[in-house]
Amino acid sequence: MIQQLSRRLMYIVAESRSIKKLATKHGMKDSSGFARRFIAGETSEDAITAIKDLNGMGMSASLDLLGENVKTIEDTHKARDTILDLLALIKSNNVDSHISVKLTQLGLNIPDKGLKVCKDNMQAIVEAAEKNNVFVRIDMEGSGCTEKTLGVFRYLHKKYGESVGIVLQSYLYRTESDVREMNKIGAKVRLCKGAYLEPEIIAFQKKKMVDLNYDHCLELLMKDGNFPAVATHDNRLMDKAKEYAKKHDVSPEKFEFQMIYGIRRDVQRQIIKDGYRLRIYVPFGKEWFPYYTRRLGERIDNLTFILKSIYLETPDDKDTV
């Protein structure tokens, strides 16, 4: 209930131009800017520095150039070119990182030509990624994009196979059936709970039901999937992943945990200590505001963290926040 309210509040904030302007001015102004907690920086170089630190701690990364719902074809080409440069940087710096991409950044929602533009952009990205030996994960966005995103993924998967993977969200009723389909075609799936505000007609509203569906889909992925990525900060579900891996004879090299940059860093270190694979989702770029408000909406404590850092100028850096 509180989580739903906090998500709704953050959606209102995300729509506000004046708050965006204010936040963008102050959030990343220096290393103590409040947005630095969840965002690695505004440039590709900032992102590579963050990855080097994570790699040094035994963690892999997945880099995400922030930006979504791009409105013009020209802007989708700019995003594509930045991602292509990023792939070259990953290679030249010899860092251990995938990339994560959002299809609405590459044209998916542009009327008429959008789908074709998006597919062309993605082909250029996956081809370059293959050459550089970097895996591409397609993030899943709001439900208005689910079917179109899966359509583009199916097309790319047929053409490029295991170089590209997808994300499914346990809050959607349809996800069990999507998991079964992805298992059948041998697709690599990242399972998450889902970060958008969705209506009751298509999505579980109660956290308990979202968690139950996660648990169920997780077992299906461990049993029949291809290198499942368990994306959650929920200890109970992480324990379930270990339990299902044992039950279905999946060794720790055959799946990975994934967590978000800046969230539960104590747990992140423990996963590595326990001998499991961990990949950190590392967002960077100038368009950080919508992503950032989604992270805030997931936990009420994050809001108090921001208020403290703005008004008291003593950011609380507790690892569990």
Judge contact between 301 and 264, C-beta under 8 A: no
Residue number with CB closer to ligand FAD (73 or 321): 321
Q: Which residue has the tokens 């994009």?
A: 145
Residue number with CB closer to ligand FAD (119 or 264): 264
**Residues linked to residue 60 through DSSP beta bridges, in sequence order:** 279
User: How far separated are the first and last CA of the chain, in Å rounded?
Assistant: 19
Least distance (Å) between residue 158 CB and ligand FAD: 21
Residue in 66, 132, 64, 138 with CA at minimum distance from that of residue 108 = 138
Residue in 214, 261, 267, 268 with CA at minimum distance from that of residue 241 = 214
Distance CA 153, CA 176 (A): 17
188 to 13, 103, 184, 226: CA distances (angstroms)? 34, 17, 11, 5
118 Cβ contact partners less than 8 Å away, ≥ 6 residues apart:
76, 103, 106, 107, 108, 110, 152
Residue number with CB closer to ligand FAD (117 or 139): 139
Distance CA 211, CA 192 (A): 10
Binding-site ranges for ligand FAD (CB under 6 A): 139-140, 167, 169, 192-196, 231-234, 258-260, 263-264, 281, 295, 298-299, 302, 321
Q: Is 190 a catalytic residue?
A: yes
Least distance (Å) between residue 38 CB and ligand FAD: 7
Least distance (Å) between residue 137 CB and ligand FAD: 8
106 to 82, 170, 260: CA distances (angstroms)? 11, 25, 22
Please report which helix (H) or strand (E) contains residue 177, including its range: helix 175-185
Residue number with CB closer to ligand FAD (131 or 317): 317
Q: Is 274 a catalytic residue?
A: no
Least distance (Å) between residue 139 CB and ligand FAD: 3
Distance CA 193, CA 51 (A): 25
Residue number with CB closer to ligand FAD (19 or 321): 321
Among 37, 80, 137, 190, the active-site one is: 190
Least distance (Å) between residue 27 CB and ligand FAD: 15
Residue number with CB closer to ligand FAD (73 or 303): 303
Q: Which residue has the tokens 């004046």?
A: 18
Least distance (Å) between residue 145 CB and ligand FAD: 10
Distance CA 207, CA 123 (A): 37
Residues comprising the chain, all counted? 321
Two tokens at 54? 């994570």
Among 80, 137, 139, 264, the active-site one is: 139
Question: Which residues does the annotation mark as catalytic?
Answer: 139, 190
